């Protein structure tokens, strides 16, 4: 049992070391990296299997009992997040096998990806506030190096913005963790939740939690602190930006969901603030996207807007709303990573990612048009794709809670998202390529053949199939999300599991 | 002692933020370091500052004059991580300076916001 809980940490860590050792042979590095990502996915699915039965797995590192040892906890939400991390990691590695414009020639990319995955998985399964900080740093170091991979003026400049703003957020988190310990004498999330529920904590601890949630809001790119995201995501190599788009902000969202449901399970002032923040995030994000003229920048702003939906679910805090947030999280990671992948393929085929210089894809690559349509329509919330169910549940939960404005904003944002997606569709797919069919005389880049893109298409096709599957089999996925939300809404079981785990 | 440390933390944070508002990126990064040290000191003071005994817990119990060692351990971790990130930031800065010849924040933002470069025609891959 213990081995399975630590496997989301051990597998990427072992893969990281193995890829470094095999550095001389790019073929071996890719094979090891792929095997590691598949093993992580398998471990995640095994955890989902256990968690689906309602167990909460908890383990104390080193066998020290709860206040001293570092706790690892896997409930339904954590298990699902680990599994989806494995899936997106695998897709990224398969996509990178196309090695299109590969800036790293495979050498540095794979170890760094697994370094990032260790941090992400660690953040999902830890039950200790300071340990969460350490995992954030681990994934941050990996993301810094991945973002700048390949170098160049634009990429370096984007990295500077990303590095400085993320460092500030991380310091806020560290300060908050220190204040929280000073005020409450514990860093274990379950014990803290117990103390909060019993009303035994001083006001300083609440202030520390507010500071911590602010730090997570920067990580999750909420309004008004999302500026770093659209300023940096578009400069990275395509597989890197897809991995970031899928996972990184969602670690922030996960941390927000975890702490708010544990510390303040009943709706209060914090939820009121989060509700308005969520509405502003949805609306500003989607409006920002409308002003952009490059594929990945449009998609970056949509990440901001979509994160707003998840926070909306958290802010309303009824079990149904939380279920909607969990479902949205699962659906969104798959869809968003896939859209970045497809944007990369489209840019490669047309020779540019500026919409003005793109075109003619529908005639040249109708299969790509189909693959784009699935996640794009899902993002906008068109039935029967996965995004429809996610939005439907959230809007219903808002209406049940009489949050009329939030429901209206969610629906309007959906319409704007559709407009934005149709902009990409019209410009990149329908209109003829400005360079003409033959090649690049007319300003933009020149169209290229689809040679060597097969691995990329496999990755994209599989993620698109998952989107359709989540949409068509929404019942079982939603059941899982509802059960996960019940665990979140009643943290007693989580606390109990951690306390019982004890030393051994 | 606590008051002195609090004032130092406040001063460090103020200096750090002041430096981060500068146009020169080197100062911004150094400001992050100063701010980071202020935060480390704040976390450190969450234990006890006047610990005069080693925090060895014996069967007799916890020594009365010992400081809480946990914040010290936390700060050690944070210092190590912070140093690694600082070195990375410096490396990125050095490379930017080599590419641009100057490192002002507005220049960096402007370069990051440049339109995406088009791919070169097929065939002449570097």
A160 touching chain B per CB within 8 A:
yes
Phi, psi for A366 (deg, rounded to 5) = -60, -30
Mean pLDDT (whole number) for A409-417 = 92
| pLDDT score of A80 | 94
Tokens for A379, please give them.
């993002």
The number of helix segments (H) and strand segments (E) in chain B equals 4, 0
Distance, in Å, from the CA atom of A430 to the CA atom of B83, rounded to the nearest integer, reads 51
Residue with tokens 């989806």: A84
Residue B43 forms part of a structural domain: yes
Q: Which of A157, A179, A445 sits opposite B46 (nearest CB)?
A: A179
User: Is the confidence at residue A345, as pLDDT, over 80?
Assistant: yes
User: Is the confidence at residue A1, as pLDDT, over 70?
Assistant: no
| pLDDT score of B58 | 75
Q: Which residues of B touch A145 (CB under 8 A)?
A: 88
The three-point CA angle A445-A439-B120 to 5° equals 35
Calculate how close chain B gets to A312, using CA atoms only, in Å. Answer: 30
DSSP characters for A315-380?
HH-SHHHHHHHHHHHHHHHHHHHHHHHHHHHHHHHHT-SBGGG---HHHH-HHHHHHHHHHHHHHH
A347 touching chain B per CB within 8 A:
yes
Q: Which of B70, B96, B122 sits opposite A157 (nearest CB)?
A: B96
| pLDDT score of A383 | 83
Q: What is the DSSP letter of A429?
A: I
Q: Which helix (H) or strand (E) holds A6?
A: helix A2-21
B80 touching chain A per CB within 8 A:
no
Q: Give the residue with greater pLDDT, A155 vs A103.
A: A155
B35 and A179 within 8 Å at the Cβ level: the answer is no
Residue A360 forms part of a structural domain: yes
Tokens for A246, please give them.
């899928």
Q: Which domain, by its residues, includes A276?
A: 267-472
B92 and A154 within 8 Å at the Cβ level: the answer is no
| pLDDT score of B71 | 86
Tokens for A313, please give them.
């679910």
User: Is the confidence at residue B34, as pLDDT, over 90?
Assistant: yes
| pLDDT score of A445 | 57
Tokens for A127, please give them.
């039950």
- pLDDT digit string, tens, across residues A420-431: 999 999 888 888
Residue A226 forms part of a structural domain: no
The number of helix segments (H) and strand segments (E) in chain A equals 20, 2
User: Is the confidence at residue A435, as pLDDT, over 80?
Assistant: no
A351 and B96 within 8 Å at the Cβ level: the answer is no
Phi, psi for A57 (deg, rounded to 5) = -85, 135
B89 and A164 within 8 Å at the Cβ level: the answer is yes
Residue B23 forms part of a structural domain: yes
Separation of first and last alpha carbons in chain B: 62
Distance, in Å, from the CA atom of A281 to the CA atom of A306, rounded to the nearest integer, reads 8
User: Is the confidence at residue B124, as pLDDT, over 90?
Assistant: no
A181 touching chain B per CB within 8 A:
yes
**Domain tally, chain A:** 1
B118 and A444 within 8 Å at the Cβ level: the answer is yes
Tokens for A60, please give them.
């104390």
DSSP characters for A242-302?
HHHHHHHHHHHHHHHHHHHHHH--S--HHHHHHHHHHHHHHHHHHHHHHT--BHHHHHHHH
B118 and A354 within 8 Å at the Cβ level: the answer is yes
Q: Which of A154, A156, A444 sits opposite B95 (nearest CB)?
A: A156
Residue A312 forms part of a structural domain: yes
Tokens for A290, please give them.
């409308």
Residue A452 forms part of a structural domain: yes
| pLDDT score of A455 | 86
Residues 6+ apart with CB under 8 A from B80: none
pTM, rounded to two decimals = 0.93
Residue B58 forms part of a structural domain: no
- pLDDT digit string, tens, across residues A131-154: 999 999 999 999 999 998 887 888
Residue B42 forms part of a structural domain: yes
**Domain tally, chain B:** 1
Calculate how close chain A gets to B46, using CA atoms only, in Å. Answer: 5
A225 within 8 A of A218, measured Cβ to Cβ: yes
- A·B CB contacts under 8 A: 130
Q: Which domain, by its residues, includes B92?
A: 2-50+65-112
Distance, in Å, from the CA atom of A197 to the CA atom of A207, rounded to the nearest integer, reads 16
B118 and A357 within 8 Å at the Cβ level: the answer is yes
B89 within 8 A of B103, measured Cβ to Cβ: no
Angle of helix A153-184 relative to helix B25-44, nearest 10 degrees, comes to 20
Tokens for A32, please give them.
């090891």
Shortest CA distance from A129: residue in chain B: B74
- pLDDT digit string, tens, across residues A14-30: 999 999 998 888 888 88
The domain that contains B100 carries what CATH number? 1.10.287.3510
Q: Give the residue with greater pLDDT, A100 vs A46.
A: A46
A114 touching chain B per CB within 8 A:
no
| pLDDT score of A306 | 93
- pLDDT digit string, tens, across residues B73-123: 889 999 999 999 999 999 988 888 888 887 788 888 888 888 887 776 655
Distance, in Å, from the CA atom of A149 to the CA atom of A88, rounded to the nearest integer, reads 19
Q: Which residues of A touch B93 (CB under 8 A)?
A: 160
């Amino acid at each position: 049992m213990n081995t399975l809980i630590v496997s989301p940490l051990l597998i990427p860590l072992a893969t990281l070391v193995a890829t470094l050792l095999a550095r001389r042979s790019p073929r071996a590095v890719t094979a090891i990296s792929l095997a590691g990502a598949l093993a992580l996915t398998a471990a995640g699915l095994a955890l989902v299997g256990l968690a689906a039965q309602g167990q909460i797995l908890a383990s104390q590192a080193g066998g020290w009992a709860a206040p001293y040892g570092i706790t690892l906890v896997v409930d339904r939400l954590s298990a699902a997040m680990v599994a989806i991390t494995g899936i997106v990691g695998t897709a990224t590695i398969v996509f990178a096998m196309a090695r299109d414009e590969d800036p790293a020639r495979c050498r540095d990319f794979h170890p760094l990806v697994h370094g990032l995955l260790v941090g992400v998985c660690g953040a999902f399964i830890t039950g200790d506030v300071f340990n969460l900080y350490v995992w954030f740093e681990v994934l941050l170091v990996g993301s810094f190096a991945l973002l700048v991979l390949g170098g160049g003026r634009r990429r370096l400049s984007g990295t500077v913005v990303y590095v400085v703003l993320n460092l500030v957020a991380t310091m806020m988190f560290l300060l908050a963790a220190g204040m929280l310990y000073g005020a409450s004498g514990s860093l274990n999330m379950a014990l803290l939740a117990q103390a909060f529920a019993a009303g035994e904590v001083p006001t300083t601890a609440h202030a520390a939690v507010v500071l911590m949630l602010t730090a997570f809001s920067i990580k999750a790119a909420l309004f008004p602190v999302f500026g770093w995201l659209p300023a940096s995501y578009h400069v990275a190599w395509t597989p890197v930006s897809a991995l970031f788009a899928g996972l990184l902000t969602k670690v922030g969202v996960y941390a927000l969901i975890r702490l708010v449901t544990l510390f303040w399970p009943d709706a209060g002032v914090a939820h009121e603030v989060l509700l308005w923040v969520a509405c502003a995030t949805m609306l500003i994000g989607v409006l920002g996207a409308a002003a952009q003229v490059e594929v990945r920048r449009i998609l970056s702003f949509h990440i901001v807007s979509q994160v707003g939906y998840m926070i909306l679910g958290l802010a309303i805090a009824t079990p149904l709303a939380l279920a909607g947030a969990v479902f949205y999280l699962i659906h969104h990671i798959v869809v968003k990573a896939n859209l970045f992948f497809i944007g990369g393929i489209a840019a490669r085929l047309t020779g540019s990612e500026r919409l003005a210089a793109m075109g003619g894809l529908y005639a040249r690559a109708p299969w790509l048009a189909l693959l784009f349509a699935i996640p794009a329509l899902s993002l906008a919330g068109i039935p029967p794709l996965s995004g429809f169910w996610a939005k439907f549940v959230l809007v219903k939960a808002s209406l049940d809670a009489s949050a009329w404005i939030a429901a209206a904003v969610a629906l309007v944002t959906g319409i704007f998202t559709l407009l934005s997606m149709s902009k990409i569709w019209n410009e990149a797919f329908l209109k003829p390529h400005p360079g003409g069919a033959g090649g690049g005389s007319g300003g933009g880049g020149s169209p290229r053949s689809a040679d060597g893109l097969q691995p990329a298409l496999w990755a994209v096709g599989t993620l698109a199939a998952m989107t359709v599957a989540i949409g068509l089999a929404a019942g079982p996925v939603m059941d899982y999300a509802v059960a996960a939300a019940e665990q979140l809404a009643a943290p007693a079981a989580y606390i109990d599991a951690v306390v019982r785990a004890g030393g051994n | 002692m606590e008051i002195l440390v609090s004032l130092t933390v406040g001063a460090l944070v103020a200096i750090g933020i002041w430096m981060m508002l500068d146009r020169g990126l080197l100062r911004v990064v150094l400001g992050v370091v100063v701010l980071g040290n202020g935060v480390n000191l704040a976390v450190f003071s969450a234990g006890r500052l006047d610990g005069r005994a080693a925090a060895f817990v014996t069967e007799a119990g916890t020594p009365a004059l010992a400081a809480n060692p946990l914040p010290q351990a936390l700060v050690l971790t944070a210092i190590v991580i912070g140093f690694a990130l600082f070195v990375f930031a410096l490396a990125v800065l050095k490379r930017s300076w080599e590419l641009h010849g100057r490192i002002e924040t507005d220049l960096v933002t402007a370069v990051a916001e440049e339109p995406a470069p088009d791919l070169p025609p097929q065939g002449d891959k570097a």
